[in-house]
Amino acid sequence: MNIGLLGFGVVGRGVYDITAARDDMQVTKVICLEDITLPDAEVTRDFNKILTDDSIDTVVEAMGGLHPAYEFVRAAIEAGKNIVTSNKALVATFYDDLLPLAAEKGVAFRCTAAVGGGIGWLSELERVRRVQEISMVGGIMNGTCNYILDSMTRLGLDYGEALKQAQALGYAEANPSTDVDGIDTWHKLILSSNVAFGVSMEHESVPVCGISRISAEDIANFKANGLTCKLVSRGTQAEGKYTAYVQPTLFPQGALEAAVPTNFNLITLDGEYSGRQSLYGQGAGRYPTAYNVVEDCVSVLAGKSFYSPYGGKVSADNSVKLRYYVRGGDAWIDSVTAEKWGTASVTEPVAVNEIHAWLKNNPEAFIAAIAE
C-alpha cells in the first residue's frame, strides 16, 4: 500500500511513525504546510501531486476540519483512491455524499479513529452487527469534557479552573467550544448510530447540550445526592423508531460511568444476544489515534470497506421521558418540578425533545438528566 498523507500534525506524524516500521505499507507523499524534510517521503503543499500519482492507492486524511478536507477526500474518491480518516466532523457532516460515492467508485472508506481515538469502537460495531442487532449505543465519548467534570468532582475546581488545567495539559483547545458545547460528542453519536443501526441520522433531529454552564453549586448538589455528572450520548433503535441525544447525565457514584477518570472514554453498546458491552480507553492522543488509522489501512489491505451498508435517512424521535436537574427556570419548569435541590429544580419525567427545546430559549440554564 502506498499512502498519500494529508496533514502532519499530532495524528499525521503518528501515522508516519507507525507505518515506517512496516513492510506492507509506506507513506510516499505528505501534505504539510511547514517546511520539513522526510527521508522516505516527498513533502508538498500541492494536493494534486497526490491526486495525480497513480502509485498512491490510499489517502489518509489527518488534517481535521471540514475544508479543504472534504474537497480533498471527495476528489481522491473520484480518482479511485481508498480513504482512511480520523475526522469525525467530516464523516458525520458529509456522510450522505461520501459513503454512496465511495460505494459507486468501488473504494474503501474507513474512519475507526474518528470515534474513541484508540479504542476501536466503530470496528467493534462492525464485528458485532454481523451476528446481532444493536439496540443502543452511547456513553462518554469526549475526553476534554470528562477531564473537566472529573476535576470539578474530585479536586473541587470550578469550571474555569478545570478548563485552564485541561488546556495546559493539551486536553482542550484554546477555543474549547466544540468539545464543551457537546458538538464533538454529537458528531460521534451520529456516526455511531449510522453504523450501528445501518441508517443516516438526520442531524437536526439530534439535540445536544454541553457542560459550559455547569457550576460548583451544581457539583455540590450532585455530591449531596450521591451522584456524579458525565457528558454522555445515547442512541437507540426499537421497532423502527430511533432516539439520539447528547446531554450531561447524573449517575449513582457506584455506576461504571461515574468511575471513568480524567480524559478517558467509556463507550457502550447493547446487543440482541450479547447484552451490554463497554469499551474503555484513551479517546485521543497521537499514538492511540494513529494506531487505529493504521489498523484501518490494514483492514483496507484485507479487503474491508465501510462498517455497515449505507442506510436511508431517519429522524430521531426523542419523546422518551426522563427526570432532569435544572438550574435556572421559569413558570414551565416550576410546573414540572417534583423537588428542589437548593435553588435548582428536579423535574418529574419530561420528554427529551421538550426540555432541549426549552433550553434553546433559556441558554443561561444548566440541565442534566438523571440516569434511570
- Dist. CA 150–CA 162, nearest whole Å: 9
Q: Element (H or E) spanning 144, and its range? A: helix 143-155
Query: Backbone phi, then psi, for 271, in 5-degree steps?
Result: -105, 155
- Please count the other Cβ atoms lying within 10 Å of the Cβ belonging to residue 273: 8
Clarify whether 188 is annotated catalytic.
Answer: yes
pTM given for the model: 0.97
Confidence (pLDDT) at 282: 87
- Burial of 230 from C-beta contacts in 10 A (0-12 / 13-18 / 19+): buried
- Dist. CA 232–CA 195, nearest whole Å: 18
Selected catalytic residue, list 81, 88, 188, 230: 188
- Report the amino acid identity of residue 353: N
Q: Give residues with Cβ within 8 angstroms of 217, minimum separation 6.
A: 327, 342, 343, 344
Candidates 126, 144, 128, 150; CA nearest to 282 is 144
Helices 143-155 and 159-168, axial angle in degrees (round to 10) = 130
Q: Is 160 helix (H, G, I), strand (E, B) or coil?
A: helix
Residue 330, all three cell numbers: 421559569
Confidence (pLDDT) at 363: 95
Largest CA distance in the chain: 68
For the range 297-301, what are the long-range contacts, defined as Cβ-Cβ under 8 Å and sequence gap of 24 or more? 297/1, 297/3, 297/19, 297/25, 297/58, 297/60, 297/84, 297/110, 298/24, 298/25, 299/108, 299/110, 299/112, 299/123, 300/1, 300/58, 300/82, 300/84, 300/108, 300/110, 301/1, 301/24, 301/25
- Dist. CA 63–CA 94, nearest whole Å: 16
Confidence (pLDDT) at 251: 98
Q: Which residue has the cell 477531564?
A: 147
Q: Is 301 helix (H, G, I), strand (E, B) or coil?
A: helix
238 CB-side CA count, 13 A:
13
Q: Give residues with Cβ within 8 angstroms of 332, minimum separation 6.
A: 358
Asked if 82 contacts 109 with a C-beta cutoff of 8 angstroms, the reply is yes
Domains of the chain, each with CATH number or no CATH: 2-110 (3.40.50.720), 134-280+315-370 (3.30.360.10)
Confidence (pLDDT) at 114: 97
Q: pLDDT 10s per residue in the chain (372 long)?
A: 999 999 999 999 999 999 999 999 999 999 999 999 999 999 999 999 999 999 999 999 999 999 999 999 999 999 999 999 999 999 999 999 999 999 999 999 999 999 999 999 999 999 999 999 999 999 999 999 999 999 999 999 999 999 999 999 989 999 999 999 999 999 999 999 999 999 999 999 999 999 999 999 999 999 999 999 999 999 999 999 999 999 999 999 999 999 999 999 999 999 999 999 999 998 888 999 999 999 999 999 999 999 999 999 999 999 999 999 999 999 999 999 999 999 999 999 999 999 999 999 999 999 999 998
- Dist. CA 277–CA 279, nearest whole Å: 7
- Dist. CA 91–CA 160, nearest whole Å: 31
